[in-house]
Structure 1
């Protein structure tokens, strides 16, 4: 790396180069690892600096008042940079501000965002600060131009070193692909390739059209011999299993800090008996039970003894990863039985070698394609799975490219993969491993979608354990729901484009070149017909969604504010004049889609005829055509069901986004119980559902009714934690009712500020509304941060949920404000989380179409449906506080309806037995602080 380079960063008054101005410039000139010079200046923007920019950068109006204006600062910057290549993070942003003044228009540009996106395909985020942290680069006082430029230089050096470590074949292909697109990483890869070839190496030649097996060599699980299930398996002998759980037993030797827990042993026995006796079972296992081992050990022993596969279904990736990366590998070491474990996901999670190879063989069309191809070329040789969860895909463009490369194609079979790809397909290999696995881990979405689908992915199984089962109804609902959005339909149609671009252009170019001259004219005529139909139908698309939006607007008296509106399609709504316009618009759209679909089907037949002649491999083209036909057909069928042929078993509604934008149409199943009954309870020998929150204060009656688990056995094993000693619940007895609106909010803000000051933060505050969270955060930030207490806000933060939790754990004194997703899955052990605040009881929004429709199936909607759902969610929130035996904490409930309303008893009774104090607002801070001091 002999060339001189310059790392550059700007601070500005905003994000728009046409309106905003530069306030600081920082640059670092370097040659190899040696820093040659640095440049820094403040710039007077000629306008006031917005407050949020000052808060972000620390740059005030007073600091720039005597600084040079940009016209005076630019010549010095240009002298500093000269003709050197310029490096920046999201460099187009910085160049946009400079190039409008004629600066740096001809310099080579290198973007560390693009470079990191390719070389760190699994990085959690690509922001400069996140990359610096991942690569061990110090970044102090971020959002000051010179500091960011220094970090950019250091990040670039490390990334350039990684580029030189790539195989010569990978470097050669990256350079070849980048020739057709403007990409901020091409210079670095060109230089790396040049240096490598100067050293005498040469890339291998790859036969055009042949899949590169080496890229997929590690993808997929390891398949073993097929299982041979016993016709009448013998029941499990529980005695050896019990020995494993004893102190000094097999588990103690593999799991750090292992403790023998009576609750865990009780659950293990129940699961073993359910499997042996072919019984269904519901198990609520309190926090700290160790339920994953309680079901894994009997599941493994049963699968090995009987040769019957046991499927484990989870809702979250975190639990799936815990099982596959921690628990199951440890059990493979601990247990005397040899067993095979695998994870299987839906087809769309795996990259297809055939489609990947086809995209590599043609010119790259977009920056998103280049970014995804680069990620895959770097990632695949080191991936064991070919599973997209290992990749970080950013933005809808990259996700769309992945869809075109994934194994979602229903026409692709495992037999075809074995024949054409030599077993290199990640999905094929994962499915082979699943077919030979004793324990197969899946997620809820795949579990039910597979059961209800004709195109089965999961191998045959009769024994199922569902963890995180409190999500089963919602996951089934999501998996069987449908949404029609204008941008998605338009994207699919515009991807066809005309005969000069898009899918139709590929047909003309690739198929036409294989036809006789006379046939080429006919092919062009067909593609032009499809293009004309596509252009015509786009007008009907816009009109249909416009009419749907007008209907939703009229249904709410013509007013829409900052929140979305959902209008359920009841019979009376379908009789309105506005809905009649929707029907007319749909009729036009439906008939407009038909010539597009029929034209694509004719083109697909033409591709098949050419392929039958053995002229060329056109599988990817045929797959793309079939995929569009299938997608448009499903769209038409689903919308027809919403608009013209409503099914009593489905809930239908129209949704309008904030400020009357983005109308969409939705449908969801009214009840999932019958589906679960058909595909699980009646179809499987043994199904075990488990969670920390399945029961209400009335036991399993509610969940059994919702899931149709009428005949399942029941078991509740309490937590090993001593909640009576380690948890205090304070109910703010003199709070206004939430219905009192502004008064409730004012008292909440004041009470929270005083509480968090007294406890020095260490609090998780749970909200039921984003609006209330936003308003409360605005109030709290001043007084708490002046006292040295950091405020982490789920809505205002640009970081991920995981990173927000990491920052909260790392801060000595902090408060974390979270909405619905933070009511569960938060695991902060120790004093960092000592106070849990419930701002309001977590009732569902009664006007939500799904909630409203399902509630109507109960005689007493509020008592039989609304309260049990909210009580279960409260239990999930409560479970965030005590995560280990040594944890101590205070739960503060600001919603006094738990005392003032008759239904309140159901909420308090649903919680573990704790000390409960009715406490005036004025005494809450002192009460919580003193209790924590006494108990810690």
Structure 2
């Protein structure tokens, strides 16, 4: 057939010939391109003459190499074919171009819904469907109601120069506008300055008012849930006026799944905000809950415009698109596929609600289509923002969100951002006085990450780049201190001298190629020499076998003479760096106070930004000096210090010294809790199956002058009837083949709908490799975190959308998955999730109760895993633990009344066959059959 023999250039000429495109309800378009689909059960091609047939993987690879083919998710199809260089006409890219900022599940089923087409019933129908969907998508261009038309012509011209495969098909359908389009940088609105907000008034929220507000939010005629009402009234205590300095009104509230805690705390929070005129910061740990909170606030403010003004979602600046980085990418900073991504991101940015690239309205699957080409470079991950010196400062998504949050009633944030802002004083006069920490069981881990220190090669090279800017041979728009603060240097002699001294001192930090030099035994400079000594001692004390491929670590005790000898010069080099940084910070503050004639509003904002950035980098270098002082010196009982070589699959990627607090809730309490007036910490597993002392210890309440109030609302679900826990006793630990067989048999018995949880990525990959094809032959799709080239959020969307699909993954799935309904009916955990025996864990275990500390961690993980199963009153499901050695003392992790049975795998498979499935429900078989 003609499409098998023509070259790509010939086909490009064919594409330019007009051909009919299918309108909805019409016929399949006469497209000159075949469509290719591959799954674990086979590979199919649909030809332009209407034939669909199965082909071998080798034939599919030859076809894709010679001919532009229509595919959906090229990286995923390429992985299934074993052809990583697969490219072609990817329908996901076309959808992202036509409908930027629109949600779509990136599967044939999701695409069919988006296009208004019938869903393909079988795998061998998908290839023909892809050609049909192509016609439907292209026909959207002709539709008069195409909402995203503005900017499309401009984008196609740029994409054409980049040889984007869809350009010939798209360009001929988009007419050149009669006048210049309002494109991204001219279309985005500018934010406006606003006066400072007055401090919130002292008000008391009465219980009756809270209940009335809750009735309003839940809707007239809705079921009155006693647990939710009690929770809401208890939460209101956190909003009472504070009567003791450095000790907020703190409430710890454990609310079981199904209580409705989101609306429960939004009721008193919204009342307090209205009456006091202050902002409530609601902090979460997962992006999924942030999105859910955004939806729930529609009940508070049904009008879209009002809600945008009253409710703001805030994240760290590394989540948002940086317009200056995007401009650099569009003007030649990116090349090849990365440049195509930049153009599609620009299309999205013009229609985005907030510019959030991570968990916002940018399709999570879009960056993964381009593998590692550029998406992270479009955000400000290095802290190099030049603030008012940026030509897009007045349109900046980050600045807009920050200013909007100052006037908002409810700010939806995350634990990390709350702690960063509190520790570095970024709120200024608008520091929140009331916090709600949802997913409060994660506060300890978030504080552990926030208040830690790490002197590693990667961290050090980032500070070098921030200070020095571009060095010989480097690309990009990076600017050093001298370029960012040239006007200060010319105005203030001491400031200019401090900048020059900092640049000279930064030369002692690791530079490009540092890891290779260390591995070759030729470190350059005192800090690289220190890292080389760290590496040598870590390998020398390794007890697990350095060929295992995992990262290595050893405690910082009894250091070797080489390490002690290297510490002195490294400490001197860092001391020479921190001194001019401290001096520069003081000089910048002096320049602000003097307010010279040249300092207009933008210059002031830029210097204020430089002070903030310089401040936290100075803190970082100070923490490094404290770490180095520990080498050969006395241990600090408040900290755990260790050496590490970070590796992935045997490949080293970082080396360094690490320091963590034994109890990170101490700095959290000092930095966040004490300045606050009211704090609510809530979760379904706040006590981790223990008593309130666990919640007090992990939330920081123990470190306050006045302790926290406690409240418990038990889940309304009938776990005895809705769920059961099955402990499988005959799957041998460490037997990967037996583990894979167990997963496969259970998933087949349940006909999909399974969430599989692993504690090790290597075992996850091994199980996936053994069972994916087997399940596919049963018509049961399997998706896997760390295997499929798809982001975690999109994997969950796909899983939620298909009741026959199963999903396996690690911690992110255990804690961040909300899949109510029939799509999730079984959770399988590979074994008891014992904590990893790290240096940090060993120190905390010794300090916090030995075995009981381990048990608390395990109970919390089991409770979180079980919590994925029953999300609403009509859910039914089974939690399976593949472990013969499950101690009975840990069973308190599961809700009271939940049946727990130990049985063989054969018996567990029979139990799984009773679960409600697509087939059994279709045939009217009861789940109790």
Deviations 1:87-129 (A, max 9, x none): 99989x99xxxxxxxxxxxxxx999888776666547799897
| Structure 1 residue matching 2:835: 3-state secondary structure | coil
TM (norm. structure 2) is 0.72
- How far did residue 587 of structure 1 move? 6.3
> Does the 8 A contact of 2:646 with 2:652 survive in 1?
yes
Moved more, 789-798 or 698-707: 789-798
Whole-angstrom CA distance in 1 between matches of 2:743 and 2:207: 51
- How far did residue 905 of structure 1 move? 1.8
> Does the 8 A contact of 2:285 with 2:438 survive in 1?
yes
> Does the 8 A contact of 1:731 with 1:917 survive in 2?
yes
1:855 corresponding residue in structure 2? 845
Whole-angstrom CA distance in 2 between matches of 1:230 and 1:536: 51
1:908 corresponding residue in structure 2? 892
Which of 853, 859, 869 is the matching residue for 2:857?
Answer: 869
TM (norm. structure 1) is 0.72
Whole-angstrom CA distance in 1 between matches of 2:151 and 2:744: 60
> Does the 8 A contact of 1:349 with 1:407 survive in 2?
no
1:845 corresponding residue in structure 2? 836
Is the aligned partner of 1:229 residue 2:200?
Answer: yes
* Cα distance, 1:783–1:219 mapped onto 2, change above 3 Å: same
Moved more, 826-835 or 487-496: 487-496
> Does the 8 A contact of 1:829 with 1:884 survive in 2?
yes
Deviations 1:568-595 (A, max 9, x none): 44222xx125534754784697599899
1:762 corresponding residue in structure 2? 753
Whole-angstrom CA distance in 2 between matches of 1:683 and 1:488: 30
Which of 702, 706, 709 is the matching residue for 1:713?
Answer: 709
> Does the 8 A contact of 2:251 with 2:708 survive in 1?
yes
- How far did residue 866 of structure 1 move? 1.0
* Cα distance, 1:252–1:504 mapped onto 2, change above 3 Å: closer
> Does the 8 A contact of 2:314 with 2:402 survive in 1?
yes
Is the aligned partner of 1:270 residue 2:234?
Answer: yes
> Does the 8 A contact of 1:650 with 1:670 survive in 2?
yes
Which of 537, 542, 557 is the matching residue for 1:571?
Answer: 557
Which structure exhibits the higher relative contact order, with contacts defined as CA atoms closer than 8 Å and separated by 6 or more residues? Answer: 2
Whole-angstrom CA distance in 1 between matches of 2:741 and 2:155: 61
Is the aligned partner of 1:461 residue 2:454?
Answer: no
- How far did residue 686 of structure 1 move? 1.9
* Cα distance, 1:195–1:715 mapped onto 2, change above 3 Å: closer
Whole-angstrom CA distance in 1 between matches of 2:894 and 2:607: 56
* Cα distance, 1:716–1:153 mapped onto 2, change above 3 Å: same
2:647 corresponding residue in structure 1? 657
- How far did residue 452 of structure 1 move? 1.3
Deviations 1:764-784 (A, max 9, x none): 232222233233334444554
| Structure 1 residue matching 2:786: 3-state secondary structure | coil
Which stretches in structure 1 are left out of the alignment for 5+ residues?
1-5, 12-24, 43-49, 95-108, 207-211, 517-521
| Structure 1 residue matching 2:263: 3-state secondary structure | helix
Moved more, 707-716 or 792-801: 792-801
Whole-angstrom CA distance in 2 between matches of 1:821 and 1:509: 41
* Cα distance, 1:275–1:201 mapped onto 2, change above 3 Å: closer
2:50 corresponding residue in structure 1? none
- How far did residue 841 of structure 1 move? 1.5
* Cα distance, 1:116–1:732 mapped onto 2, change above 3 Å: closer
- How far did residue 888 of structure 1 move? 1.7
Which of 683, 686, 691 is the matching residue for 1:694?
Answer: 686
- How far did residue 438 of structure 1 move? 2.9
Is the aligned partner of 1:281 residue 2:251?
Answer: yes
* Cα distance, 1:152–1:583 mapped onto 2, change above 3 Å: farther
Is the aligned partner of 1:817 residue 2:796?
Answer: no
* Cα distance, 1:836–1:376 mapped onto 2, change above 3 Å: closer
1:775 corresponding residue in structure 2? 766
- How far did residue 754 of structure 1 move? 4.0
* Cα distance, 1:314–1:717 mapped onto 2, change above 3 Å: same
- How far did residue 281 of structure 1 move? 0.9
- How far did residue 692 of structure 1 move? 0.7
Deviations 1:266-325 (A, max 9, x none): 10111123423653111111111000111110111122223343222111222222222x
Which of 382, 385, 399 is the matching residue for 2:376?
Answer: 399
- How far did residue 871 of structure 1 move? 0.3
Which of 209, 219, 222 is the matching residue for 1:252?
Answer: 219
Whole-angstrom CA distance in 1 between matches of 2:108 and 2:428: 41
- How far did residue 224 of structure 1 move? 9.7
2:471 corresponding residue in structure 1? 497
Deviations 1:444-491 (A, max 9, x none): 111111111144368233222111101111112223334555467557
Whole-angstrom CA distance in 2 between matches of 1:119 and 1:633: 46
> Does the 8 A contact of 2:73 with 2:90 survive in 1?
yes
- How far did residue 347 of structure 1 move? 4.3
| Structure 2 residue matching 1:447: 3-state secondary structure | helix
1:891 corresponding residue in structure 2? 879
Which stretches in structure 2 are left out of the alignment for 5+ residues?
21-28, 46-53, 79-87, 243-248, 491-495, 513-523, 917-925
Deviations 1:787-837 (A, max 9, x none): 444333333322233333344344454443332222123233334332222
Deviations 1:55-80 (A, max 9, x none): 79864389799x9999xxx8xx8xxx
1:261 corresponding residue in structure 2? 225
Select the structure of larger CA radius of gyration: 1
* Cα distance, 1:622–1:434 mapped onto 2, change above 3 Å: closer
Which of 620, 627, 650 is the matching residue for 1:642?
Answer: 627
Which of 334, 338, 349 is the matching residue for 1:366?
Answer: 334
> Does the 8 A contact of 1:312 with 1:440 survive in 2?
yes
> Does the 8 A contact of 1:223 with 1:433 survive in 2?
no
Deviations 1:345-367 (A, max 9, x none): 344445667x579859x953333
> Does the 8 A contact of 1:219 with 1:380 survive in 2?
no
1:136 corresponding residue in structure 2? 115
2:535 corresponding residue in structure 1? 549
Is the aligned partner of 1:826 residue 2:817?
Answer: yes
- How far did residue 887 of structure 1 move? 1.5
> Does the 8 A contact of 1:28 with 1:150 survive in 2?
no
Which of 722, 746, 757 is the matching residue for 1:726?
Answer: 722
> Does the 8 A contact of 1:530 with 1:600 survive in 2?
no
| Structure 1 residue matching 2:807: 3-state secondary structure | strand
* Cα distance, 1:134–1:597 mapped onto 2, change above 3 Å: farther
Which of 436, 443, 449 is the matching residue for 1:478?
Answer: 449
2:245 corresponding residue in structure 1? none
Which of 552, 560, 564 is the matching residue for 2:546?
Answer: 560
Whole-angstrom CA distance in 1 between matches of 2:755 and 2:546: 32
Whole-angstrom CA distance in 2 between matches of 1:425 and 1:923: 59
Is the aligned partner of 1:917 residue 2:917?
Answer: no
Whole-angstrom CA distance in 2 between matches of 1:816 and 1:760: 13
- How far did residue 884 of structure 1 move? 1.3
Instruction: Calculate the aligned-residue CA RMSD, in Å.
Output: 5.9
Whole-angstrom CA distance in 1 between matches of 2:793 and 2:63: 42
